[in-house]
Amino acid sequence: MTTRTALVTGSSRGIGRACAMALAAAGARVVVAARDREKLEEAAGEIRAGGGEAFVVQIDLASQESIKEAFARVAKEFGRIDILVNNAGITRDGLAMRMKKEVWDLVLETNLSGAFLCIQQVLPAMARERWGRIINITSVVGEAGNPGQANYVASKAGLIGLTKAIAQEMSSRSITVNAVAPGFIDTEMTQALPQELKDGLLARIPLKRWGTPADVAAAVRFLASEEAGYITGHVLDVNGGMYM
């Protein structure tokens, strides 16, 4: 089988890194992309140590220029990207009543516009090849809402709509577009939450445990595979039953 090239945004840590590892283990050549070059080199080193092929590219999802440059570098190196995982995301929490427009804009720009611009970069080559996998990492809060996160929730709900629109546009080219919606996953981002809040969240999860980055990566690996070729426009919940 030809080696597929996968690009994972936000793959320097957490869920993105786990997705990069899982895709490499499944035989893909993986481009790790994020802002922190040092952490990307670590992730790439781990992939190579496991016998996989990794390529590092710095990217800032809030900058269209940076996105274009990063994808141009990858195209020069490998010709095309077969699998795109839009995982990078930021939070800037606060109550809607007091949220400054620049804080709203930054989150929407990074999480939603950034994902859209990455999709635009890969579509022409995928259409020519008549094969592609696009997987957008959304969130349980994009489905259920969450107070104090109007910007983040809107960006993640927007990703679900974007997934369904692009799935319909590109289905005739055998390009599948799906979303994975993690619940509360044990990462650096969630470890910073106050203990009281974490206890309250755990009480709302029927499976009575936090998810792991590997739980999410397994769903991503499946949706990127040949076996998932008849699934498109779908939101796969990985949330321990927290939202049904």
- Inter-residue contact 95 to 103 (CB < 8 Å): no
**In degrees to the nearest 10, what's the CA dihedral of 35, 41, 47, 48?**
150
CA distances to 16, 18, 244 from 83, rounded to whole Å, are: 14, 15, 28
User: How many whole angstroms separate alpha carbon 244 and alpha carbon 191?
Assistant: 24
CB atoms < 10 A from the CB of 194, how many? 8
**């969240």: which residue's tokens?**
201
Q: Which residues pair with 5 in a beta bridge?
A: 29
Q: Which amino acid is at 203?
A: A
Give residues with Cβ within 8 angstroms of 194, minimum separation 6.
none
3-class secondary-structure state, position 82: coil
Choosing from 71, 104, 131, 152, which is the catalytic residue?
A: 152
Length of the chain: 244
- Establish whether 152 is a catalytic residue: yes
Contact partners, residue 210, CB within 8 Å, separation at least 6: 184, 185, 186, 190, 202, 240
8 A C-beta contact, residue 228 and residue 176: yes
Helix or strand holding residue 57 (H, E): strand 54-58
Active site residues: 152
